Amino acid sequence: MVQEPQSFHEFMPDKVWKWKILEEKVEKVLSLHDFQEIRLSVLQDSQVLQDGITALIQGQEADTAMKGVLSLSLPDDQLSLLSLRPEGTISVLHHTARITNPGEIHRFYYSGPMFRRINNQQQMEFYQLGVELLGSESILSENEVISLGMKLCKTLGLNEVRLDLNSYGCFTCRESFFSDLNKYLEEHKSEYCNSCYRELSTNPFSQVHCANPDCKKSLQEGPHIYDYLCNSCKTDFNKVQKIQANLGNQYKVNPNLNKNFAYYNKTVFDFIAKHKGKEIIIGGGGRYDYLSALITGKRIPAVGFYLNLDSIFEIMESRGLFEEKDPEFTVYICAESPNLEMMTLQIVQELHSQQIKTIISPECRPAEKEIAIAKKKDCPIMLILRDDNIREGKILLRNLVKEEQKYISLRDTLPSIMLAKKAMQS
């Protein structure tokens, strides 16, 4: 990640318009690939999450893996049955298992806040996009998903993005790898910090973030699953590389590519971008054909990825990739006399019937102050209501672009505004 959030998100208008641009671009690309949006609850069943996260690990190691999940607690510190979602894949599989039939293909995506603990202590919220293709174990589905992730990154302006690829093999490949890795960890235990040793013992594919040079060195020198792949897994992995190369996607085989969750098999990947002179992971994913059967009893081959939207947003903002649209034509309406609420709202209602945006001043203030506010809000037109004018059936229309004003008939308010809008947009 680019940075670790220190608190929960609060997006204000100066950021929200940028988020909408990012989200609209993402949704447009996904719709071209026939991915359907689904909306998952932020609250998840703790037991369902535990079954998924610990699907391939047991005992104390499973308890360690669950410490990153933010669960809700009762006053007596007993854990409730609910947790804040740390990811979306497990929930998607549970929902899909209830609706899918053999042979069906489902393309889903979702986005929103996820929650985890950093180093089992600090609470962290982050925004994430999840994309899942369910029901196929073909090489084509794998490459469709990987290519889609690359296309999304490039559409958002991250043209230098590249792939890191690895393979976690199948159960046959893993048996020898796990055995040799456990022996290696035990023999080199003194070279690892407690945290890294515990994480790798829990999940051999764990994505450890350690600055200790001894840990890094030992990790690189130790066994890698890439060297244990069976002939079938090697053939499939070579196909993935060939297809991505022919699609023009830059990639690198990275035997040290690891993941936080142990449920992946075969191809795994990361999306790498540059930010502030460094290469960072902005997303990633892989195939997880075994997971559904382990947690739902129903086999659903699947492949998917996530994109860290916080990281991508920060990169886009630093590169000036958010272009603010020209201000929408907006009419500023104010009353300089009391008891004109009904008239004000009637005028607003009439303007809204023609999709004309308005800003209402809720206070009675001097004209100079109202004009200053209207200009600050980029409103080209003002309507000023005064009690004596209303009694005469007229209203003051001020053009803030030309710095001129005139009285118009109340019944001509909408036509006059429409005419002013047409003149300013021509």
End-to-end CA distance of the chain: 46
The pLDDT value recorded for residue 401 is 95
- pLDDT at position 4, please? 47
**How many C-beta atoms surround the C-beta of residue 271 within 10 A?**
26
Q: What are the structural domains, with CATH classification, of the chain?
A: 13-170+230-318 (3.30.930.10), 330-425 (3.40.50.800)
55 touches 171 (CB < 8 A): no
Segment-wise mean pLDDT, segments of 10 residues, the chain, 426 residues: 58 91 96 94 74 58 58 59 81 88 93 78 82 95 97 96 94 84 79 73 65 69 85 95 96 86 87 94 94 88 96 95 90 93 96 97 93 96 95 96 95 96 89
Instruction: List % helix, strand, coil for the chain (3-state, nearest 5).
Output: 40, 25, 35
Helical axes 59-66 vs 46-53, angle rounded to 10°: 120
Annotated binding site for L-histidine: 87-89, 116, 128, 132, 263-264
Within a 10 A sphere around the Cβ of 149, how many other Cβ atoms? 26
Tokens of 398: 């001020």
pLDDT of residue 129: 97
Q: At what angle do helices 194-202 and 59-66 cross, to 10 degrees?
A: 110
pLDDT score recorded for residue 86: 80
Q: Which pLDDT belongs to residue 72?
A: 65
Residues contacting residue 342 through CB under 8 Å, at least 6 positions apart: none
User: Judging by DSSP bridges, how do beta strands 251-253 and 79-84 pair with one another?
Assistant: unpaired
CA atoms lying within 13 Å on the CB side of residue 136? 15
Residues 6+ apart with CB under 8 A from 105: 133, 134, 135, 136, 141
Mapped onto helix, strand or coil, the DSSP state of residue 74 is coil
Closest CA to 91 of 145, 44, 26: 44
**3-class secondary-structure state, position 376:** helix
CA 362 – CA 197 distance, rounded (Å): 63
